[in-house]
Amino acid sequence: MLRGNYTPSALTKLKINVPSLTDCLCLLDGPLVCLSTLIINVLCIYHPDILEAIDPTKKLPNLKCFSFTSFGHTYEYDNLIVPLLCRMINLEELKLYLLVRRMDSTYIDGYQLYDQFLIYMTQLKKFTFYIKTEVSFQTVRFELPTNEDIQRSFIGRRYPRVTSYANTQSVPFDGVCHIYSLPYGF
């Protein structure tokens, strides 16, 4: 709940903690579409029932700076986070802290980040991130990339200095990978 005297069109910067990604999506789809800076901390990310009421293709052209921190693990990176980021076409600064769990998939790497949303962010000047991917196989088994493969996926792209740590056969997961920009900003 926002408190104080404001008009949504006059609000350009907001720093907020919300219990779920649904709250973030509702804010961006509704009264706060005029925001230029959003710093948001989300407790959990899950697939909401209300998603049908939110337009996942509605662009957010006014948003220039977006900081997104999620304190809980999510299986919804591909279904919710990537489409949200694709809406931010004029973003100049992006800061992500994500804990992602994937089933029957692979680690998030530089190729995926670029192909899934960074390619659409033509105005992006600063990208700071920490992404931890935990992978488990149930039906399909993939060969997980090595740490060197992960490092190579960032070469030749417009990334800051990046480091990674990949650990296959990490109990209780089949693999865990940490990727983050340097200097470490979290």
Mean pLDDT score across all residues of the chain: 85
The per-residue pLDDT for 107 is: 94
3-class DSSP state of 77: helix
Q: How confident is the model at residue 133 (pLDDT cuts 50, 70, 90)?
A: very high
Which candidate, 159, 30, 21, 131, places its Cα nearest to that of 84?
21
> Strand pairing partners for 44?
20
CB atoms within 10 A of CB 26: 17
The per-residue pLDDT for 11 is: 67
- How far is 145 from 156, CA to CA, in rounded Å? 18
pTM confidence score: 0.87
Mean predicted confidence (pLDDT) in 137-163: 86
Q: With contact defined as beta carbons under 8 Å apart, do 58 and 31 qualify?
A: no
Mean predicted confidence (pLDDT) in 164-185: 86
Residue 10 has pLDDT above 60, yes or no: no
Q: Which amino acid is at 155?
A: I
- How far is 64 from 104, CA to CA, in rounded Å? 34
Residue 9 has pLDDT above 90, yes or no: no
Q: Poorest-confidence range of 60-69, 87-96, 120-129, 162-171?
A: 162-171
The sign one gets for the Cα dihedral 121, 98, 23, 39 is negative
